[in-house]
Chains A and B, each alone.
Chain A
Amino acid sequence: MSGLQWGVKGGYIGIMRIPIDTFRLPNGLFVTLSEDHTAPLVAVNLWYHVGSANERPGRTGFAHLFEHMLFQGSKNVGANEHFELIQRAGGTLNGSTWLDRTNYFETVPSNQLALALWLEADRMGRLLPAMTQVKLDTQRDVVKNERRWSIDNQPYGTCWERLQELAFPPTHPFHHSLIGSMEDLSAASLDDVARFFATYYTPDNAVLSIAGDFDPREARRLVTEYFGPIPRGGGVPPLPEMSVTPTFGTAPRMVVPDDVRLPRLFIAARTPTFGSEGSYVATVTAAILGLKNGSRLYRRLVRETQIAADATAGTFDLSKGTDLLMVDVTARPGIAAETLEAAVTAELDRLVRDGVTADEVERAVALLETEYVASLQSADTRADKLSMFATYFGNPALVNDQVDRYRAVTANAVSAFARERLGPDNRAQLLYVPQETQAAAA
Chain B
Amino acid sequence: MTTISHDESRTMVEPPAPPRPGAGEPRPYHFPAFESRTLSNGLRVIVAPVTKLPVVSVVAIVDAGAGTEPPERDGLASLTAKALLEGTTTRDGAALIEEAERLGGALDADADWDAATIKLTVLSERIAPALRLIGDVLRTPSFPEHEIERLKAERQAELLQLRAEPRGLADEMIERFVFSPNARYARPEGGSAASVDALRRAHVDAFYAARYQPDAITLIVVGNVTTSEIEGLAENVFGGWTGHAATASDAVLDTAAGDPPAIRIIRKPDAPQSEIRVGHAGLPRGHRDYFPVLIMNAILGGLFSSRINLNLREVHAYTYGAHSSYDWRRGAGPFAVNTAVQSNVTDAALREILLEITRIRADAVEPTELSLATSYLDGVFPIRYETASAIANALANLVIYGLPTDYYDQYRANVRAVTAVDVLTAARTHLDPARLQVVVVGDPEAVRGPLEGLGAGPVLVYDDTGKPL
Task: Tell me whether A and B are bound partners.
Answer: yes
Interface residues of A (CB under 8 A from B): 4, 6-8, 10-13, 16, 36, 38-41, 56, 75-76, 79-80, 83-84, 87-92, 107-115, 118, 121-122, 125-126, 128-129, 137-146, 148-150, 152-155, 194-195, 197-199, 202, 213, 222, 225-226, 229-231, 233-235, 237, 259-262, 292-294, 299, 302-303, 306, 309, 330, 332-333, 359, 362-363, 366-367, 369-370, 373-374, 376-379, 441
Query: Apart from A90-B380, A111-B24, A114-B21, what are 9 other A-B pairs with CB-CB below 8 Å?
Result: A87-B304, A145-B341, A260-B161, A309-B154, A309-B158, A333-B156, A367-B105, A369-B104, A377-B53
**Contact-residue size bin, chain B (C-beta under 8 Å from the other chain):** 35 or more
Q: Is the CB of A145 within 8 A of B318?
A: yes
**Residues of B129-161 whose CB lies within 8 A of A:** 150, 153-154, 156-158, 160-161
Q: Which of B120-128, B213-221, B233-241, B257-265 contacts A (4 or more CB under 8 A)?
A: B120-128
Question: Which of A88, A194, A233, A261 sits near B376, CB closer than 8 Å?
Answer: A88
User: Whose C-beta in chain B lies nearest to the C-beta of A142?
Assistant: B317
How far is the CB of A427 from the nearest CB of chain B, in Å?
25
Q: Is the CB of A112 within 8 A of B7?
A: no
In the complex, what residues of A have CB within 8 A of residue B102's CB? 359, 362-363, 366
Q: Is the CB of B382 within 8 A of A109?
A: yes
**Residues of B245-301 whose CB lies within 8 A of A:** 268-269, 271-273, 275
In the complex, what residues of A have CB within 8 A of residue B317's CB? 137-142, 145
B228 at interface, CB cutoff 8 A? no
Q: Is the CB of B54 within 8 A of A41?
A: no
How far is the CB of B266 from the nearest CB of chain A, in Å?
13
Q: Is the CB of B164 within 8 A of A91?
A: no
Q: A233-B10, A234-B3 are in contact. Are A80 and B16 (CB under 8 A)?
A: no
Q: Which one of B3, B16, B104, B268 has the highest number of Cβ atoms from chain A below 10 Å of its Cβ?
A: B104
Question: Which of B1, B9, B161, B386 sits near A155, CB closer than 8 Å?
Answer: B161
Q: Is the CB of B153 within 8 A of A332?
A: yes
Q: Which one of B8, B9, B165, B268 has the highest number of Cβ atoms from chain A below 10 Å of its Cβ?
A: B165
CA distance A112 to B15 in the complex (A): 23
In the complex, what residues of A have CB within 8 A of residue B7's CB? 195, 198-199, 233-234
Q: Which of B90-98, B196-204, B395-403, B430-438 contacts A (4 or more CB under 8 A)?
A: B90-98
Q: A261-B164, A363-B98 are in contact. Are A109 and B379 (CB under 8 A)?
A: yes
Q: Is the CB of B106 within 8 A of A367?
A: yes
**Main SS of chain B's interface residues?**
mixed
In the complex, what residues of B have CB within 8 A of residue A379's CB? 386
Question: Which of B17, B164, B375 sits near A89, CB closer than 8 Å?
Answer: B375
**Residues of B1-19 whose CB lies within 8 A of A:** 1-4, 6-11, 13-18
In the complex, what residues of A have CB within 8 A of residue B379's CB? 89-91, 108-109, 112
B425 at interface, CB cutoff 8 A? no
A–B Cβ pairs within 8 angstroms, 11 of them:
A90-B379, A90-B383, A111-B27, A145-B320, A152-B272, A199-B2, A259-B164, A366-B104, A370-B122, A373-B54, A373-B123
In the complex, what residues of B have CB within 8 A of residue A16's CB? 53-54
Q: Is the CB of A40 within 8 A of B17?
A: no
CA distance A332 to B152 in the complex (A): 12
Q: A87-B303, A107-B383 are in contact. Are A76 and B53 (CB under 8 A)?
A: no
How far is the CB of A323 from the nearest CB of chain B, in Å?
23
Q: Is the CB of B13 within 8 A of A231?
A: yes
In the complex, what residues of B have CB within 8 A of residue A366's CB? 101-104
Q: Is the CB of B341 within 8 A of A261?
A: no
Q: Is the CB of B160 within 8 A of A262?
A: yes
Q: Is the CB of A84 within 8 A of B104?
A: no
Interface residues of B (CB under 8 A from A): 1-4, 6-11, 13-18, 20-29, 52-55, 57, 93-94, 97-98, 100-106, 121-126, 150, 153-154, 156-158, 160-161, 163-167, 268-269, 271-273, 275, 303-305, 310, 313-314, 317-320, 340-342, 371-372, 375-376, 378-383, 385-389
CA distance A4 to B272 in the complex (A): 49
Question: Which of A237, A299, A374 sits near B121, CB closer than 8 Å?
Answer: A374
Question: Which of A87, A113, A229, A237 sits near B3, CB closer than 8 Å?
Answer: A237
CA distance A7 to B442 in the complex (A): 55
How far is the CB of A421 from the nearest CB of chain B, in Å?
24
Q: A366-B101, A376-B53 are in contact. Are A333 and B160 (CB under 8 A)?
A: yes
User: Whose C-beta in chain A lies nearest to the C-beta of B124?
Assistant: A8
Q: Is the CB of B53 within 8 A of A293?
A: no
Q: Is the CB of B53 within 8 A of A373?
A: yes
Q: Is the CB of B160 within 8 A of A374?
A: no
CA distance A234 to B5 in the complex (A): 9
CA distance A128 to B7 in the complex (A): 13
